[in-house]
Structure 1
């Protein structure tokens, strides 16, 4: 993830999703994403494991600058999402 970026996790499903973020900065933590909502999760590199399908992206906002990019799975069959810091 770019320096100053934030991880955004979106859940377009009908039920809440429990997303575990396991990264290089301490023990894993769980974030609850309500149905039809998105949350911003701080952190660096992380592996995401979710109880329901979710989408993720990284947003960057600084002064008048704004950017974003999607986070894609390495292999859709595994169901994990890996986010690397730069």
Structure 2
């Protein structure tokens, strides 16, 4: 079994209204010193088998087709 974590974030330069809202809420709650906040998504996935290269290829395909909008989002995959 291969465990993976996929992190999807907006590309630099893409407006992030949810991140701005979180930033404002943090400031309103008294959290000082924030330069900026960007939000994203995290997916924890388990792949059957032990072929790490094959698992990485399958995860890349999942991200390209479903989990990330690659026009405006970047993704990274970390295998355990």
Global fold match (TM > 0.5): no
TM-score (norm 2): 0.35
TM-score (norm 1): 0.33
Identify, as 1 or 2, the structure richer in strand: 1
